[in-house]
Amino acid sequence: MVAPRTTRPKPATPPAGNSSLLASFQRAMRRRFGFSRRETSGFVLLLLLMVIWLWLPTLLRPALPHYDPAPDQARLDALAAELAAQRQPRTYASRYPRRPYAARPSVPQIALAPFNPNALTELDWQARGLPAYVARRIVHYGTVIGGFKAKEQIRRTYGLEDSVYARLAPYIQLPDQLPPREARQYANSNSRFPARRPFEETGPGHFARKPTHLASFDLNRADTTQLMQIRGIGRGYARRVVEYRQRLGGFLREVQLAEIYSFRDAPDLVDSLRKYTFVGPAFAPATININSEPFEVLQAHPYMGKRLARVVVAYRQQHGPFKQANDLRQIRIMDEATVEKLRPYLRFD
């Protein structure tokens, strides 16, 4: 009799869709990141070689002995001491030996009391608190002027400080100011000298009075005698005007008179010159050839000078001659105002 056949229940299987998705993901991971047995063995061997390579310098490096710097330091100290013993300070004989000066004796100070400054010596002034050089100047000044007549003369002594003068002034037995000057008395008819008015020309040793009404004249043609007819212009000022005109090559405008060094602090004299002088409309100034003139000629021009003339000569030697005044602007130290002032006095042959 055959026993009845029993059947086991089949395990539940996941849905077909989920199993296929998981299998495809596993195949993709294995294909991208999977290693074979040979590749795994090679990777392990390479990793082992890298570790050995990193530790190899430490294993092969010999053990260094401990360094003791004491012997080397002692040797260096001995060499330094030897060099210091061999080195001797250099002594140079002075070309200008110092003169021995005797020590100045100290002058004891005295209490201030009324005194006559004309009766004091240098030591007396020093005893009242003045330095030796100031005391010497006061004594010399009093001797030159024939004795002090007022305190203001002492106050004008060069080197005398105001604080020192203020301390001495109450004790000086002199008036504060000089007495007013008496009016000059001119000879009358009873004198043996003929009567004359002041500033009247009496001979070759006196100056003639300058004319009150003066006609204007050409500034570029006037000589020193004609310039001296202007009030305030003496022989020295007239000579400087003529010399500056020759160096400049002639005045183009009356305002150029203010460029003369002597007239920089005298605007009234410049106004007087501009009042009685003029520049002719057809006047052509003397020019200089900037491409051929040497350094000595260029530096003598008032608008050029030594520094600018040296640069101009060096520039034309390196870059060739100038063709026009605007070419000077290529020089860095040449500003626009200087180019415009030089333009009428330059030629480019």
Predicted confidence at residue 200, as pLDDT, reads 46
Q: Show the DSSP H helices in 87-131 as ranges.
A: 122-127
Cα-Cα-Cα-Cα dihedral of 63, 64, 66, 67, to 10°? 180
Highest mean pLDDT of the ranges 30-39, 82-91, 253-262: 253-262
Rg value, the chain, Cα: 53
Q: Rounded to two decimals, what is the model's pTM?
A: 0.42
Report yes or no: 218 and 277 within 8 Å, Cβ to Cβ. yes
pLDDT tens for 122-164 read 999 999 989 988 999 999 988 888 889 998 888 888 888 888 8
* CATH architecture assignment, domain 288-347: Orthogonal Bundle (1.10)
Q: What does the pLDDT read at residue 184?
A: 61
Secondary element (H or E) of residue 44: helix 37-60
pLDDT at 171 over 60: yes
Residue among 293, 220, 282 nearest 257 (CA): 220
Q: Which of these, 157, 345, 153, lies nearest to 249 by C-alpha position?
A: 345
Q: Is 80 exceeded by the pLDDT of residue 205?
A: no
Question: Would 217-278 and 288-347 be classified into the same CATH topology?
Answer: yes
CATH classification for the domain delimited by 217-278, as one of 1.10.150, 3.50.50, 3.20.20, 3.30.1370: 1.10.150
Average pLDDT of span 248-257: 89
Which of 182, 175, 238, 179 is closest to 210 using CA atoms? 238
Residues 265-318 have pLDDT tens digits of 788 888 888 888 889 888 889 999 999 999 998 999 999 889 999 999 999 999
- Which percentage of the chain shows pLDDT scores above 70? 82
Q: How far is the first Cα of the chain from the last one, in angstroms, to the nearest whole number? A: 149
As a whole number, mean pLDDT of residues 227-238 equals 88
Q: Taking the domains of the chain in order of start, what are their residue ranges? A: 117-171, 217-278, 288-347
Q: Which two tokens stand for residue 192?
A: 């043996």
